[in-house]
Amino acid sequence: MTDDIGRLNGQLDTYKTGMRWVVQLAFALLISATVALIIDAAAFLVKLLLPS
């Protein structure tokens, strides 16, 4: 029984670590997409406002 609990705790730790990596990756992708969108919008506004 103690071995089963130890094995379950190990599996839960692995699951928590994996989920932490997935959440960090998702936030990193959201942040990079947001930054890219802001840069594109700023470049568009600069082209729009500056006479060529």
* Chain segment 1-36, per-residue pLDDT in tens: 888 888 999 999 999 999 999 999 999 999 999 999
For residue 44, being part of any structural domain is answered with yes
> What confidence tens digit (pLDDT) does each residue in 34-46 have?
999 999 999 999 9
Q: What pLDDT does residue 45 have? A: 95
Residue identified by tokens 């094995």 is: 7
Q: What pLDDT does residue 52 have? A: 67
For residue 4, being part of any structural domain is answered with no
For residue 25, being part of any structural domain is answered with yes
For residue 5, being part of any structural domain is answered with no
Tokens (6 digits) for 38: 């802001």
Cα four-point dihedral sign 6, 11, 16, 21:
positive
For residue 6, being part of any structural domain is answered with no
| This prediction's pTM | 0.70
The parent domain of residue 34 ranges over 19-52
- The whole-angstrom separation of Cα 21 and Cα 33 is 18
For residue 26, being part of any structural domain is answered with yes
The tally of domains found in the chain comes to 1
- The whole-angstrom separation of Cα 12 and Cα 37 is 37
